[in-house]
Amino acid sequence: MRNIILSVLGVLLIVGAIFIGKQISNSKKKERPVVQKVVKTIFTDTVKNGNIQIVIPANGNLVAKRRVELYSEVQGVFKTSGKLFRPGQEYRQGQTLIRIDASEYYASVQSAKSNLYNTIAAIMPDLRLDFPEVFSKWQDYLNGFNMDKTTPKLPEMTSDKENYFITGRGIVSSYYNVKNLEQRLAKFNIRAPFTGILTDALVTEGSLIRNGQKLGEYIDPTTYEMEVALSKSYANLLKVGETVKLNNLDHTENFIGKVSRVNGSIDATTQTINAYIEVKNESLKEGMYLEANLNAKSESDAIEINRSLVLDNNQIFIVRDTILDIIDVKPVYFSDTKAVLKGIPDGTIMLSKSVPGAYAGMAVKPYNSNASE
């Protein structure tokens, strides 16, 4: 009886152990989770083609449109005039900028004029006898000859005989010699070619000025030009007379200029083309650094988007129902941040923001900003 009870207990222990083992084994088995399909929400825009103004950014320094580098063509001592020859000094047109001592040279000019007068006076008796018909005009010339004024032009010769007679006495050569000296005498006084301001002065009153020496720089402060270098791809976009918006680096001042000139050649080294923007404003100074936005031209039937939305092979993503697709586009212009495109039909739904990892056939959910919560 005891053996039977022990046998039954042993069988029960074995069965219980097998049952518990199966329970433990089954508890370690985990069900594989169901992968949920993620649909990204995207931002879209509806294409509406129109006229896009292509704006080219540029920058540069202002330079006076009218500027003169002053050089001396004669030698002498710089004499004091009515105004000090200093940077910032203003002059009106025709005012003396620099007056060089010309007393010695003036004496030689007067000597040459005197010789011319004496030569003409010496032939007057012969003219009275041989050419009485021209005597009166040469007499009038002598009467109007003033040593303190510019030598008047010689009377017009009316016959070959008169011409031979006057030329043979050396009067014509003496006249042109005097005029040459007078022209050089005028260079001892340097006058302002236009109303402006002196920006650089390299000499001072009392110093010796030498022939060919640079004396300073003089500008017209009312009109300035800014030279900008643009890529050669914009050469066919620039138009002379186009309005340009300018601003300083701090964007606190705005100015309006216009394209005055466009260089006809492209720099072979940098492959750029130079354009010149003319601007007028009382607050401008030479050397100021400005930024410009050139309105190159207006492109019809085009759109402007962020440059990051254009793929490497000139394609963009569009949305067909809830699936991304790719279409080819025709780029017209690229700036640092924007791109102007053509060839996209009106009503096309395209991405307005880049989607990381996007691909053709990707399921997406367009975002509707007007949807109610």
Residue 37: the pLDDT is 61
CA distances (Å), 223 to each of 62, 257, 284, 301, in order? 10, 10, 9, 38
Helix axes 103-130, 160-168, angle to 10 degrees: 140
Per-residue DSSP letter, 337: S
Per CATH, is 56-64+221-298 categorized as 2.40.30.170?
yes
Per-residue DSSP letter, 234: G
Number of helices (H) and strands (E) in the chain: give both, helices first.
5, 22
Q: Given this chain, do its domains 42-52+300-366 and 56-64+221-298 carry the same CATH topology? A: no
3-state secondary structure of 138: helix
Q: Using CB atoms within 10 Å of the CB of residue 302, give its burial: 0 to 12 exposed, 13 to 18 middle, 19+ buried.
A: buried
Start-to-end C-alpha separation, the chain: 80
Rounded distance between C-alpha atoms, residue 174 and residue 331, angstroms: 73
Phi, psi of 113 (to 5 degrees): -65, -40
Residue 107: the pLDDT is 94
Rounded distance between C-alpha atoms, residue 170 and residue 190, angstroms: 32
Radius of gyration for the alpha carbons in the chain, expressed in angstroms and rounded: 46
CA distances (Å), 282 to each of 220, 255, 285, 287, in order? 12, 11, 8, 14
Joined tokens for residue 340: 């102007």
Q: Please give the CATH architecture assigned to the domain spanning 42-52+300-366.
A: Beta Barrel (2.40)
Residue 368: the pLDDT is 53
pTM: 0.66
Domain coordinates in residue numbering, the chain: 42-52+300-366, 56-64+221-298, 69-96+197-218, 104-186
**Residue carrying the six token digits 């009312």:** 222
Rounded distance between C-alpha atoms, residue 133 and residue 136, angstroms: 7
Residue stretches of the chain with pLDDT short of 50: 35, 369-373
Rounded distance between C-alpha atoms, residue 373 and residue 5, angstroms: 74
Identify the sign of the CA torsion 239, 257, 94, 108: negative
Of 187, 192, 188, 190, nearest to 219 by C-alpha is: 192
Which residues are CB-neighbours of 153 under 8 A, at least 6 positions away?
none
Residue 59: the pLDDT is 87
Joined tokens for residue 280: 């007028």
Identify the sign of the CA torsion 125, 126, 129, 132: negative
Residue 372: the pLDDT is 38
Phi, psi of 193 (to 5 degrees): -70, -20
